[in-house]
Amino acid sequence: MAEPPRGRARRRDPEAARTIRDVADRAGVSTATVSRVVNGNYPVAASTRAAVERAMRELGYVANAHARALAGSTTRVVGIVVNEIVDPFFAYIARGVQSEATASGRLCLVCSTQGDEAAELRFVDLLLEQRADAVILVGGAVEDQDYFATIGQRAKQLAKNGSSLVLCGRPGLESGVPAYAVDYDNTGGAAAITDHLLSVGHTKILYLGGPTMLSTTTARVRGFRQAYAARKLEHDPALVRTGAFGRQWGYDQTLRALDEGPEFTAIFAANDIVAAGAYTALRERGLSIPGDISVVGYDDVPVAVELQPALTTVRVPLEELGRAAVRAGVSGQEPNADPFAHQQQVTTLGTVVVVRDSVAPPGRR
């Protein structure tokens, strides 16, 4: 009696094995070494990695990222979540992230929240599902305990998956949360630029810009006030106006301040874009810069040198922030690494005042 037909055995597609073997033969290494380079789950000498990657390019070999994820490794993807990609502050950080990610053989995915806190969390969850090597959150954070708790939970989920959360341009989280922080001396920069104005005789300085609950705003206003305190000077709280970071906001608030008072002889714009709005408003009122009103900014994005006169501002190393964030985020991609070993690792980059042509001693209006 004939045996009943058996189910067709699933045949393993030999193409993938042959391909990885071809890569190994071309590079002069073992298939295990090729696998390590592809999966990124074991340290490989730089020269060996370069030889394998060259062989992969020559043979047209493309690794299956989905298969790697199913095998339990991350996908050699770095995700960066920004507020607004057309804002030069975020754009230059994103460029640094992409540059460093590419250099390490990773794909960079850029997600723009348009200022929506809920969208930020959705992007983090999507990148978590994609098993990204690192998720980088860029820019100031909302100073809210519920928000911090939620981000802390996401950091722990990422760590358990072998991924990393990196906070870039914002403070670190509470002790015990597995997240890197790559920040810059926000407060120190604000204090230094304010002291520059004070040193030439300005004591009535209008501070303009930044949402009230944002960590960036808190840090810059703190530095602004510290500079006054260091010189034992009083500052009129009515001259601090917070609310947004845009050009239109800077324009509108400068006009309001001119109309409503108190009197001021200089403007500290919370970023260079706000300063550009202030320039327009002052010129509309027939006021010269710096003859009547001095103006300073923050960030040193391209508009700072395009303005006439060129803007004195605080230089933030934006591209280096992005590169450092990637280096921090992928530094733990080692086999059997403790996902919680990088708790509270904080890197702080310096800022510097760039003196141009927008500041002079107080004039008369």
The pLDDT score that the predictor gives to residue 141 is: 83
- For residues 116 and 141, state if they share a domain: yes
Structure confidence by residue, pLDDT tens digits, 202-221: 999 999 988 888 899 999 99
Nearest to 86 by CA among 303, 298, 278, 242: 303
For residue 209, being part of any structural domain is answered with yes
- For residues 150 and 49, state if they share a domain: no
Structure confidence by residue, pLDDT tens digits, 155-166: 998 998 888 999
First vs last C-alpha separation in the chain? 111
- Mean pLDDT of all residues belonging to the chain: 87
- For residues 89 and 154, state if they share a domain: yes
- For residues 190 and 292, state if they share a domain: yes
> Which residues, 6 or more positions from 157, have their beta carbon under 8 angstroms from its beta carbon?
128
- For residues 200 and 295, state if they share a domain: yes
- 3-state SS class at 20: helix
The pLDDT score that the predictor gives to residue 140 is: 84
- For residues 325 and 312, state if they share a domain: no
The pLDDT score that the predictor gives to residue 261 is: 87
Looking at the structure of the chain, the number of domains it has is 3
CA angle 352, 353, 358 (to 5 degrees): 160
For residue 243, being part of any structural domain is answered with yes
For residue 356, being part of any structural domain is answered with no
- For residues 115 and 160, state if they share a domain: yes
- For residues 200 and 299, state if they share a domain: yes
Structure confidence by residue, pLDDT tens digits, 262-315: 999 999 999 999 999 999 999 999 999 999 999 999 999 999 999 999 999 999
For residue 7, being part of any structural domain is answered with no
- For residues 294 and 218, state if they share a domain: yes
Domain residue limits at 265: 186-316
pLDDT at 57 over 90: no
Structure confidence by residue, pLDDT tens digits, 317-342: 999 999 999 999 988 655 445 545 55
- For residues 148 and 138, state if they share a domain: yes
Q: Taken in order 313, 218, 137, 273, is the CA torsion positive or negative?
A: negative
| Range 355-360 average pLDDT | 98
For residue 5, being part of any structural domain is answered with no
- For residues 59 and 40, state if they share a domain: yes
Tell which wins on pLDDT, 225 or 118: 225
For residue 228, being part of any structural domain is answered with yes
For residue 33, being part of any structural domain is answered with yes
CATH classification of the domain holding 226: 3.40.50.2300
- For residues 103 and 201, state if they share a domain: no
Is residue 251 within 8 A of residue 281, CB to CB? The reply is yes
Q: Taken in order 56, 59, 65, 70, is the CA torsion positive or negative?
A: negative
pTM exceeds 0.85, yes or no: no
For residue 51, being part of any structural domain is answered with yes
